[in-house]
Structure 1
């Protein structure tokens, strides 16, 4: 069940309006009204989307015991796509064309016969597809946390975001807003009374107006996510791997496993490094000194004695393939395990938020001038701190 076993992956969305007093039959009925495979949202390209129950790709049943866990509503977003096999379409076309042109004295099919063969082959394949034999179904887990009034969508790609948010709005009559690095910075700035983030100026892209190639001007300052990962790299390289958080706790961090970098001017390309310590590789050092910015970084985070291994995506702050701590030995009942797992997911989200807030407390304050000078000095040095 999605967020309740294995590693977890998610984008985060803020839900419009007040949080529900509690999840109940009303919300399950709304899911049933838009269940996958029956009353679905169909796009112009024939893709259908709906909700599923969460236990399998064919699960279309919803009930309180299964779908409401520890004050969170859990279900799945299912996309159904008919993929007509090209080799079979070609075979039908060749057969139909041969039948249509067999009496041609020239021995060649006419343009009209080719069009007719193409249409008849396609119609034949579409007719066969009605029984679902060519249908591909893909489910993405969804967790609506009532306490935070946020939705976690189990993907790091934004390819299905429009479909998902549209269906959610149709189902619950509530809009969703993707919490990217820039949008989250705006929310945090309001809460902490910090300066509002500028929407088009990065401190690490000199000579081009500070614009970052992959962040559209006039929108949220999502390049702050790239600067955030660079800041974490800077801290860990100097040995400052423990960060005091605003709630009085501490987070220990270590870059690990993977690092993706890209040229913010869109000129010198991108690259991905895989290593137990990717930020310590000489090629990583040279890339960042040349002006590339991190777009994705593997991290090991420890807070409250619990370790999380994950990949953090810069602009969206999406969490990829996060390994949660093992459940406590005293948690043995099936339902208690689900409740504890939901708490662990919340703890991970809180840890990520608190760490990002510490960066923003520096980045969006007068302290940034001094911190920027330290980072630039670190970048200018040819050597790294000894491992």
Structure 2
């Protein structure tokens, strides 16, 4: 499972209402009671979720020494589905209709024949599903940091993470909340007595003449200001280009940052489409600068970050603050880097990207923001406009 080896990809969920300060045998017993594979799914369109021991697709062994590491629980959840692909069902339906209409003068199936064909296909689906031929197993790695009340889900937020969250909430009677750029910002604002300022934050315009009231990719059902993730990446780009490669963190630490490998941009008002650039240093390419000069915002970027001597290479998604393809770059002198060290590295990586966003939020809700925004707008202005302003 990737949390203990290989590259890291995850999104996070805040865990609340857990009934214990530690994860004990009684909690493992609950996992064992709901182990993946205990319930066979034989009917169509059926979904069953269950826990895995964390080692592989069929691991049903749970043990405190194996699963509880460094005040975190490493395990898996498997989603079993038994659904006939729609292309196959459509093909069966076409075959049934063709057979029914063969002797009709019109060559078209009647209403009653279409009903019979539908019933025949449904019956065939039940029979085929019972054979297990179309059963699929989809495993996901999870790391539950009980000490920091955080769940790391080894995938992207969506239907699968929803099934996993439902299982955890049902079995452990907890509540899970998806962590995103907006929720990180709101939590920081609450802790820093800036909630009123954060509540007033609206999408900013960094291109002269462009007005933005909301971003095209915003979740209309969410009140979290996730657009701050896009603004953060643009600010980070500006900082690295014009100010410094070292970002100060609120805890008085520092992180050295370099944007690398990949960059995805999109027009916030949905007019100029999307653009993805793959290069060693994508932000140095003319097309990258032209994209943001035309008002596009970063939605995802690769980066290298170094903090306290530890280097991470990763890709950060702006709105969700989801991390993908993260590699822990070890020093050549490091010989023993075990599971506990891996979990500490996951924590450090999360704290570091959050800390950089906290630094931006402090600026974004402070008195110096307008001056910074205008400086970024000047940076993005085409060279001809900059020359005219200097001449004036």
TM-score of the superposed pair, with normalisation by structure 1? 0.87
Question: Quick check: 1:275 aligned with 2:276?
Answer: no
Once the two structures are TM-superposed, the CA of residue 58 in structure 1 deviates from its matched residue by 2.0
Once the two structures are TM-superposed, the CA of residue 24 in structure 1 deviates from its matched residue by 1.2
Matched with 2:190 is 190
- Per mean C-alpha deviation after superposition, the further-off stretch among 120-129 and 21-30 is 120-129
Matched with 1:242 is 246
Cα pair distance change 1:40/1:354, threshold 3 Å: farther
Q: Structure 2: how far apart are the matches of 1:329 and 1:170?
A: 45
Question: Quick check: 1:256 aligned with 2:260?
Answer: yes
Q: Structure 2: how far apart are the matches of 1:19 and 1:274?
A: 46
Map 1:1-387; keep pairs closer than 5 Å.
1-17=1-17, 20-38=20-38, 45-85=45-85, 89=89, 104=103, 110-111=109-110, 112-195=112-195, 196-198=197-199, 201-204=202-205, 208=211, 210-216=213-219, 219-238=223-242, 240-326=244-330, 331-332=335-336, 337-382=338-383
Q: 1:216-246 deviations in whole A, cap 9, x for unaligned?
A: 4661111000000001111111251111223
Contact kept? 1:19, 1:147, Cα under 8 Å: no
CA RMSD of aligned residues (A): 3.0
Contact kept? 1:255, 1:298, Cα under 8 Å: yes
Contact kept? 1:331, 1:337, Cα under 8 Å: no
Q: Structure 1: how far apart are the matches of 2:43 and 2:321?
A: 28
Q: 1:283-330 deviations in whole A, cap 9, x for unaligned?
A: 111111111111111111011111101111111111111111237756
Aligned residues: 379
Cα pair distance change 1:204/1:45, threshold 3 Å: farther
Gaps of 5+ in 1: none
Contact kept? 2:46, 2:83, Cα under 8 Å: no
Cα pair distance change 1:300/1:92, threshold 3 Å: same
Q: Structure 2: how far apart are the matches of 1:43 and 1:362?
A: 55
Once the two structures are TM-superposed, the CA of residue 368 in structure 1 deviates from its matched residue by 1.1
Cα pair distance change 1:15/1:91, threshold 3 Å: closer
Cα pair distance change 1:285/1:167, threshold 3 Å: same
Once the two structures are TM-superposed, the CA of residue 8 in structure 1 deviates from its matched residue by 0.6
Q: Give SS of 1:57's match.
A: coil
Matched with 2:388 is none
Q: 1:116-155 deviations in whole A, cap 9, x for unaligned?
A: 3443244234223224221111111111112211111112
Contact kept? 1:312, 1:320, Cα under 8 Å: yes
Contact kept? 2:43, 2:82, Cα under 8 Å: no
Once the two structures are TM-superposed, the CA of residue 106 in structure 1 deviates from its matched residue by 5.3
Cα pair distance change 1:337/1:224, threshold 3 Å: same
- Per mean C-alpha deviation after superposition, the further-off stretch among 32-41 and 312-321 is 32-41
Contact kept? 1:33, 1:171, Cα under 8 Å: no
Q: Structure 1: how far apart are the matches of 2:245 and 2:38?
A: 51
Cα pair distance change 1:382/1:57, threshold 3 Å: farther
Q: Structure 1: how far apart are the matches of 2:76 and 2:248?
A: 36
- Per mean C-alpha deviation after superposition, the further-off stretch among 204-213 and 300-309 is 204-213
Once the two structures are TM-superposed, the CA of residue 269 in structure 1 deviates from its matched residue by 1.2
- Per mean C-alpha deviation after superposition, the further-off stretch among 177-186 and 27-36 is 27-36
Contact kept? 1:235, 1:241, Cα under 8 Å: yes
Contact kept? 2:205, 2:212, Cα under 8 Å: no
Q: Give SS of 1:324's match.
A: strand
Once the two structures are TM-superposed, the CA of residue 97 in structure 1 deviates from its matched residue by 6.6
- Per mean C-alpha deviation after superposition, the further-off stretch among 154-163 and 108-117 is 108-117
Q: Structure 2: how far apart are the matches of 1:245 and 1:204?
A: 25
Contact kept? 1:7, 1:322, Cα under 8 Å: yes
Q: Give SS of 1:193's match.
A: coil
Cα pair distance change 1:157/1:43, threshold 3 Å: farther
